[in-house]
Structure 1
Amino acid sequence: MKPTHLLLLAGLVALAACSKPEPAAAPVRAVRTLTVTPQTAGGVLEYAGEVRARTESRLGFRVAGKIVRREADLGDSVRAGQVLAQLDPQDLRLGQEAAKAALSAAQVNHDQAAADFKRFKELRDQGFISSAELERRETALKAAQAQLEQARAQSSVQGNQAAYAALVADAKGVVTAIEAEPGMVVAAGTPVLRLAHDGPRDVVFAVPEDKVLLVRQLAGVPGRFSVKLWGDGGATLPATIREISAAADPVTRTFLVKADVGTAAVKLGQTATVRVELPQTAGVTKLPLTALKEEQGKTIVWLVDRQTMTVRAQPVQVAGADGNDAVISSGLQPGQVVVTAGVHVLNPGQQVKFYAEPARAAAASVASPVTVK
Structure 2
Amino acid sequence: MRSMRWNGVFGILLASLAACSAEPAAETPRPALVVHAGGGVEAALSAYAGEIRAREESPLSFRVGGNLVRRNVDAGARVRRGEVLAVLDPGDFALQAQAAQAQLAAAEADLVRARGDRDRYAKLVGDQLISQSTYDAQEAAYKAAEGQARAARAQMDVMRNQEGYSQLRAPRDGVIASRQAEAGQVVAAGQTVFTLAADGGREVAIGLPENRIRDFSVGQPVMVELWNAPGQRLPGAIREIAPAADAQTRTYAARVDLVGDAAQQVELGQSARVYVQENGAKAALKLPLSAIQRSDDGKTAVWVVDPATGKVRLQPVRLGAYGEESVPVLDGVRASDWVVAAGGHLLREGQTVTPVDRNNKPIAMK
The aligned counterpart of 1:258 is: 255
- TM (norm. structure 2) is 0.73
**CA spacing shift, 1:135–1:254, aligned 2, 3 Å:** same
CA deviations 1:299-346 (Å, max 9, x no partner) are: 23467999xx99876543223579976543345689999777765456
The alignment-based identity, stated in percent, is 39
The aligned counterpart of 1:142 is: 143
CA distance in 1, matches of 2:51, 2:60: 22
The aligned counterpart of 1:168 is: 169
The aligned counterpart of 2:12 is: none
Counterpart contact for 1:31–1:352, Cα < 8 Å: no
**CA spacing shift, 1:321–1:139, aligned 2, 3 Å:** same
CA deviations 1:101-147 (Å, max 9, x no partner) are: 11111111112212222222222222222222122112212211211
Cα offset, 1:97, TM superposition: 0.9
Counterpart contact for 1:36–1:332, Cα < 8 Å: no
Counterpart contact for 2:219–2:239, Cα < 8 Å: no
Cα offset, 1:193, TM superposition: 2.1
CA distance in 1, matches of 2:326, 2:64: 61
The aligned counterpart of 2:271 is: 271
Letter in 2 for 1:293: Q
The aligned counterpart of 2:243 is: 246
The aligned counterpart of 2:72 is: 71
**CA spacing shift, 1:34–1:81, aligned 2, 3 Å:** closer
The aligned counterpart of 1:183 is: 184
CA distance in 1, matches of 2:158, 2:70: 24
**CA spacing shift, 1:34–1:51, aligned 2, 3 Å:** closer
CA deviations 1:215-253 (Å, max 9, x no partner) are: x24x434xx312122336864321111122233333333
Q: CA RMSD in A?
A: 4.0
The aligned counterpart of 2:18 is: none
Indicate yes or no: 2:226 matched with 1:229: yes
**CA spacing shift, 1:335–1:150, aligned 2, 3 Å:** closer
**CA spacing shift, 1:54–1:161, aligned 2, 3 Å:** same
SS at match of 1:119: helix
The aligned counterpart of 1:87 is: 88
Counterpart contact for 2:302–2:314, Cα < 8 Å: yes
**CA spacing shift, 1:73–1:126, aligned 2, 3 Å:** same
Counterpart contact for 1:31–1:342, Cα < 8 Å: no
Cα offset, 1:47, TM superposition: 2.1
SS at match of 1:210: helix
CA distance in 1, matches of 2:266, 2:286: 38
SS at match of 1:247: coil
The aligned counterpart of 2:219 is: 220
Indicate yes or no: 2:113 matched with 1:116: no
SS at match of 1:211: helix
CA distance in 1, matches of 2:234, 2:34: 38
- TM (norm. structure 1) is 0.72
> How many positions carry a matched residue from both structures?
329
Tell which deviates more after alignment, 128-137 or 153-162. Answer: 128-137
Counterpart contact for 1:31–1:340, Cα < 8 Å: no
CA distance in 1, matches of 2:127, 2:35: 121
Counterpart contact for 2:87–2:168, Cα < 8 Å: yes
**CA spacing shift, 1:329–1:57, aligned 2, 3 Å:** same
Long gaps (5+) in structure 1: 1-26, 362-373
CA distance in 2, matches of 1:176, 1:51: 12
Letter in 2 for 1:260: D
CA distance in 2, matches of 1:173, 1:334: 51
Letter in 2 for 1:220: G
**CA spacing shift, 1:40–1:323, aligned 2, 3 Å:** farther
CA distance in 2, matches of 1:266, 1:130: 83
CA distance in 2, matches of 1:356, 1:314: 17
Letter in 2 for 1:198: D
SS at match of 2:97: helix
Counterpart contact for 2:84–2:168, Cα < 8 Å: yes
**CA spacing shift, 1:297–1:62, aligned 2, 3 Å:** farther
CA distance in 2, matches of 1:36, 1:178: 52
Cα offset, 1:44, TM superposition: 2.2
Cα offset, 1:95, TM superposition: 0.6
CA distance in 2, matches of 1:356, 1:170: 67
Tell which deviates more after alignment, 321-330 or 229-238. Answer: 321-330
CA distance in 1, matches of 2:145, 2:329: 86
SS at match of 2:265: coil
The correspondence of residues 353-368 of structure 1 with structure 2, limited to 5 A, is 353=352
Tell which deviates more after alignment, 172-181 or 319-328. Answer: 319-328
